[in-house]
């Protein structure tokens, strides 16, 4: 069994706290590694090392920082399969999903190659008589990123890339459930030319996170995870005077209008609802067909598609639809919520509560489930299940369907499937949700737009990647400049007032 490490000052560093967490292979249930849980002293030492390295990196000109990003793109492409294999082994997602995880992170690094353009300030000539004004973007200093288990390559890269391109040093606290890929990314950044100490990885639990939140050197904090934790981190970080962006949970609705292409809608729901075993903040977990006839046609299309899904470990090949969930605790929580749905009166149109995978009985597998006749008062509707469970809530009208999405506490993503442009435009305009798909089930913006939800899905003012990330990881300084050319009387310059 492997003992993992932290990554400090450009190399893997053994933990000294004496505390470890188990890293499992979700397909087999076996413990495959131990990850050290950093003590406050270890976290503070990593922050101090980052603070020592940051000034020189911050003074490195943007195009040279961009060259590190260019080389990182090459290295990520080179090691794509290696990263995907390690990711699948610890997380459980299929190899195509794992490659997609790396790819979507890589795309943000590609965007960061444009740092020289993105960091340009503004200039006003002759703002007053003989006076010029200009602004500049400067790095925050040392920032922290606390990242989730479900995208161990993509999510760190979404934050590390812009933060580094802006001239900051970064201390990453990845999920303790699948920490190997973040450590591999740290090594790749050093190979790409990033100076030692500019990017640190400390593994740990809440103790490590609280230490980062309370450390005065940390100037900004990014978090992705559940809403209760997002709210907690945002409150503690901002109370300590830090800039914070914290992204929480989701309950994404897909409205299916009577005029929709039902085969297209069903295919979209299966992919968006069950891909990555539903462990995605942008997963569609609620289908909202408008009208009983639409609902009946949709259920008729969904059932055979879901029953054909192949659930297996990633080692069974690229034709596996999804693998296990990440932990035994996650599996048990999902099954408990499924039982609550049955008890509260929902109909299980596809029931896989007895799913067992021969030869992998100790793995954390959950079969696909489809609920019909779900109502908004049920736990399976209110709660983010984060598993392979799709709930169908029948709406009597478009307005009722729209209200369901708008009234839910989460506002991460949503979608509508329709052939009617007026309906689609009205939905996109009125719905109070951050990311909207029109005949697109998972509307994750590309790297040059920004990613973020509304309501209790996001705490803070600026989103992930795109232009917002460069705003988040920099401070704007505005300079008013005048070079006196008037008479010098009595050893003093005399200035005219600004016009």
DSSP result, 35-83: EE---HHHHHHHHHHHHHHHHHHHHS-HHHHHHHHHHHHHHHHHTHHHH
Cβ distance 172 to 201 under 8 Å?
yes
Strand partners, 233: none
Express as a percent the part of the chain with pLDDT over 70. 97
pLDDT at 498 over 70: no
Active-site residues: which are they? Answer: 281
pLDDT at 495 over 80: no
Cβ distance 136 to 476 under 8 Å?
yes
- pLDDT, residue 396, reads 98
Strands of 413-417's sheet, edge to edge?
A: 347-350, 369-372, 389-392, 284-289, 252-256, 413-417, 435-438
323: which residues sit within 8 A by CB, 6+ positions away?
26, 27, 88, 92, 93, 94, 277, 311, 312, 313, 314, 365
Q: What is the pLDDT of residues 73-119, one digit of tens each?
A: 999 999 999 999 999 999 999 999 999 999 999 999 999 999 999 99
The DSSP element (H or E) to which 137 belongs, if any, is strand 131-139
DSSP 8-state code for residue 38: -
Closest-CA residue to 143 (of 70, 72, 237, 78): 237
Q: What is the pLDDT of residues 403-447, one digit of tens each?
A: 999 999 999 999 999 999 999 999 999 999 999 999 999 999 999
- pLDDT, residue 344, reads 98
pLDDT at 314 over 70: yes
Strand-pair category, 284-289 with 389-392: parallel
- pLDDT, residue 1, reads 79
- pLDDT, residue 486, reads 54
Residue range 327-350: mean pLDDT, rounded = 98
- pLDDT, residue 499, reads 45
Closest-CA residue to 184 (of 297, 87, 257): 87
- pLDDT, residue 490, reads 52
- pLDDT, residue 496, reads 52
Strand partners, 395: 290
Which residue reads 């939905």 in tokens?
427
Assigned architecture for domain 2-248+457-479? 3-Layer(aba) Sandwich (3.40)
Topology agreement, domain 2-248+457-479 and domain 252-438: no
Distance (Å, whole) CA 26 – CA 206: 23
The DSSP element (H or E) to which 201 belongs, if any, is strand 199-201
**Domain map of the chain by residue range?**
2-248+457-479, 252-438
Exposure of 258 in the CB half-sphere (CA atoms within 13 A): 8
Closest-CA residue to 183 (of 357, 10, 344, 400): 10
DSSP secondary structure, 290-351, as one string: BSHHHHHHHHHHHHHHHHT--B--GGG-TT--B---S-HHHHHHHHHHHHHHHHTT-EEEE-
Q: How does residue 485 score in pLDDT terms, banded at 50, 70 and 90?
A: confident
DSSP secondary structure, 97-152, as one string: HHHHHHHHHHHHHHHHTTHHHHT---EEEEEETTEEEEEEEEE-SEEEEE--SS-T
Q: Which CATH class is domain 252-438?
A: alpha beta
pLDDT at 494 over 60: no
Cβ distance 365 to 355 under 8 Å?
yes
Cβ distance 131 to 66 under 8 Å?
no
pLDDT at 281 over 60: yes
Q: What is the pLDDT of residues 201-223, one digit of tens each?
A: 999 999 999 999 999 999 999 99
Distance (Å, whole) CA 316 – CA 73: 29
Average pLDDT of the chain is 96
Residue range 160-169: mean pLDDT, rounded = 98
Cβ distance 398 to 290 under 8 Å?
yes
More confidently predicted of 296 and 497: 296
């Amino acid at each position: 069994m492997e003992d993992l490490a932290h990554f400090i000052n450009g190399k893997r560093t053994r933990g000294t706290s004496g505390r470890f967490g188990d890293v499992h292979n979700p397909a087999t249930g076996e413990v495959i590694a131990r990850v050290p849980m950093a003590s406050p002293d270890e976290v503070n030492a990593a922050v101090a090392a980052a603070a020592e390295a940051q000034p020189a990196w911050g003074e490195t000109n943007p195009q040279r920082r961009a060259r590190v990003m260019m080389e990182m793109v090459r290295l990520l492409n080179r090691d794509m399969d290696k990263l995907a294999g390690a990711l699948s082994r610890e997380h459980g997602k299929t190899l195509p999903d794992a490659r997609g995880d790396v790819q979507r992170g890589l795309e943000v690094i590609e965007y960061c190659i444009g740092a020289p353009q993105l960091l340009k300030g503004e200039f006003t000539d002759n703002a007053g008589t003989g006076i010029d004004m200009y602004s500049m973007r400067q790095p925050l200093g040392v920032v922290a990123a606390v990242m989730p288990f479900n995208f161990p390559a993509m999510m760190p890269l979404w934050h590390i890339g812009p933060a580094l391109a802006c001239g900051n040093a970064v201390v990453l606290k990845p999920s303790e459930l699948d920490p190997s890929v973040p450590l591999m990314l740290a090594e790749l950044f050093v190979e790409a030319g990033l100076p030692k100490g500019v990017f640190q990885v400390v593994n740990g639990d809440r103790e490590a996170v609280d230490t980062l939140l309370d450390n005065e050197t940390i100037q900004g904090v990014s978090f992705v995870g559940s809403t209760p934790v997002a709210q907690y981190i945002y409150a503690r970080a901002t109370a300590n005077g830090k800039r914070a962006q914290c992204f929480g949970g989701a309950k994404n609705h897909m409205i299916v209008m009577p005029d929709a292409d039902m085969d297209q809608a069903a295919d979209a729901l299966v992919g968006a609802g069950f891909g990555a075993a539903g462990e995605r903040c942008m997963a569609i977990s609620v289908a909202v067909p408008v009208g009983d006839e639409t609902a009946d046609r949709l259920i008729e299309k969904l059932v055979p598609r879901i029953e054909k899904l192949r659930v297996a470990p990633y080692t069974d090949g690229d034709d596996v639809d999804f693998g296990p969930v990440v932990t035994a605790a996650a599996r048990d929580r999902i099954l408990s919520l499924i039982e609550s749905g049955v008890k509260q009166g929902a109909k299980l149109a596809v029931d896989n509560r007895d799913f067992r995978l021969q030869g992998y009985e100790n793995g954390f597998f959950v079969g696909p489930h489809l609920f019909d006749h779900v109502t908004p008062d049920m736990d399976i509707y209110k709660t983010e299940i984060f598993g392979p469970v799709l709930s169908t809530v029948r709406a009597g009208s478009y307005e009722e369907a729209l209200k369901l999405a708008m009234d839910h506490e989460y506002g991460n993503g949503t979608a509508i499937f329709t052939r009617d442009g007026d309906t689609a435009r009205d939905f996109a305009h009125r719905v109070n949700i951050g990311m909207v798909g029109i005949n697109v089930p998972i509307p994750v913006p590309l790297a040059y737009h920004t990613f973020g939800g509304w309501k209790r899905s996001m705490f803070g003012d600026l989103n992930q990647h795109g232009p917002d990330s460069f705003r988040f990881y920099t401070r704007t300084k505005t300079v008013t400049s005048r070079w006196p050319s008037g008479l010098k009387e009595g050893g003093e310059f005399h200035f005219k007032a600004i016009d």
